[in-house]
Amino acid sequence: MNRIIYFCITLACFLCSSCNDYLNIAPKGNKIPTTLADFEALLRDQYTISRTPVENALYLLNDVYLTNAKVNTPSLSQANYMWDESADRIMLNNADEGTYYVLYGAISSCNLIIANAPTATEATDAERKEVMAYAKVIRALCYDVLVNYYADTYDKATAAEKRSVPLIASADIDAPYTQVSIQEMYDFIIQDTKEAIEMGIPAQSMTAIHPNLGAAYALLARVYLQMQNYDEALRYANLALEQNNQLFDWNAFYEEHQAAIDDPDNYDKIVTPMQYDYVENYYLRYGVQSNFDSYEYNIPVERAERFEEGDARFLSRWKLKVDNNDTYYKALESGFFNHGGLTTCEAYLIKAECQARLAQNNDYAESMNTLNSVRITRIRPDKYQPATAATLEEALSLIRRTKDNELIFSIVPFADARRFNLEGTYASTLIKTYEGKEYSLSPTSHLWTMPFPAGALNNPGNGSIEQNVSK
């Protein structure tokens, strides 16, 4: 026994004396990031940092078709899809659902880049600032999605009092954090994005999955619109459009593929134009998947009816299908879809709404001209008529129809619906019929705020999280 004790003491002394030497040796088969290229590579890991899965917001809007079999199976998606206010969504969200973990995973990578880029080797100061700027915009966008998903919508009167989501800006493992107020989170998002602009985020980014200057401006326009600051939202939408104002010609795309699209028995996939070289991109960011062969969601028949007649973008993307007990519009396209990023189309539609909100003497001509700039590239020539509006309500209704359809599968229609619901004047109740029974979703329903997953509450790390909904 004495010899064993002596051996252990000797071994401990040896290990302690050699500790510093071992810390300076990289583990075999691993690379410790030191160069700027090492850290920038984190931005190219598309599956971990470039996804924005917001499925339950899409289910709540009924923008995604849920099969009859899944409707009849209790789940979080079923509770949202069927607008079941009696369901305990906190209990149903007992798994590690994607939205929270994917976005905080992306934030973690951004924190690591922002913390280490200033001292990274093999780079100039300008190159270091560029990579940091990319990370700041991505981090700000992730927080914008999180706060509009898990917290109540922005209300200037209560934003300083209501909780939002955990704000984690440190790259240190187990760093302390706070579940900040909604106002503090919006201030952080704006600050991060403006700092990226000051750092010199380039007008032409490294790749489509790196946000450019137009993306930073477009994100600020989105955030200020959510805050109902129409002057600032308009200013940044215009700045974004000065960087890029191109719109894709969906009429030409439809005509190119019309024979296959019009064939009622042909559901062969068409490669989507909404990927890396899409002319509308400021920043390409995926939704749920990042695989090339990923398909878009199928949509319900009632959702399809909300598209404008003759919408070439709709005609090119979905086709009616009857499959046993399910009838829906089946997705026709495959590829890399920019469902979570920032585009010129969104900037146009933010601009149109701000012009309508700020119009003098009920003159909505400028707002409608901006809206029509988008519509004329989408609506078939035999169906197209310039949109006009005599009242603010008419203008907002026309803009919102186009925006909800253009940005389907992104967080934007969900965030916009919450914003209009809060405003009250233009709030709307969602209505649908399922198996002969009518269902409705009130603009004041608690379902408009998503519950944190159980894993986040049970394992909060060096902080604490309080649930933002009762169920």
CATH architecture of 36-249+339-458: Alpha Horseshoe (1.25)
Give mean pLDDT, residues 401-417.
98
**Who contacts 376 (Cβ-Cβ below 8 Å, separation ≥6)?**
384
Q: What local confidence, expressed as pLDDT, does residue 33 receive?
A: 84
pLDDT band of 47, cuts 50, 70, 90: confident
Residue 4 pLDDT exceeds 70:
no
Q: Which of 130-139, 146-155, 318-327 has the lowest mean pLDDT?
A: 318-327
Calpha distance 415→412 (Å, rounded):
5
pLDDT band of 292, cuts 50, 70, 90: low
Q: What local confidence, expressed as pLDDT, does residue 382 receive?
A: 97
Give mean pLDDT, residues 189-205.
98
Give mean pLDDT, residues 158-186.
95
Residue 193 C-alpha from the chain's centroid? 16
Domain chopping of the chain, boundaries: 36-249+339-458
Give mean pLDDT, residues 308-316.
97
Q: Residue 59 in contact with residue 81, Cβ under 8 Å? A: yes
Q: What is the per-residue pLDDT across 75-93, written as a single tens digit (0 to 9) for each?
A: 999 999 999 999 999 999 8
pLDDT band of 46, cuts 50, 70, 90: confident
pLDDT band of 60, cuts 50, 70, 90: very high
Q: What local confidence, expressed as pLDDT, does residue 18 receive?
A: 35
pTM, two decimal places: 0.92
Give mean pLDDT, residues 287-309.
88
Calpha distance 198→401 (Å, rounded):
35
Work out the mean pLDDT of the chain and round it to a whole number: 91
Calpha distance 181→187 (Å, rounded):
10
Q: What local confidence, expressed as pLDDT, does residue 31 receive?
A: 66
Q: What local confidence, expressed as pLDDT, does residue 293 receive?
A: 66
As a whole-number percent, the residues of the chain with pLDDT over 70 amount to 92
CA distances from 369 to 157, 249, 372, 376, 378 (A): 33, 17, 5, 10, 15
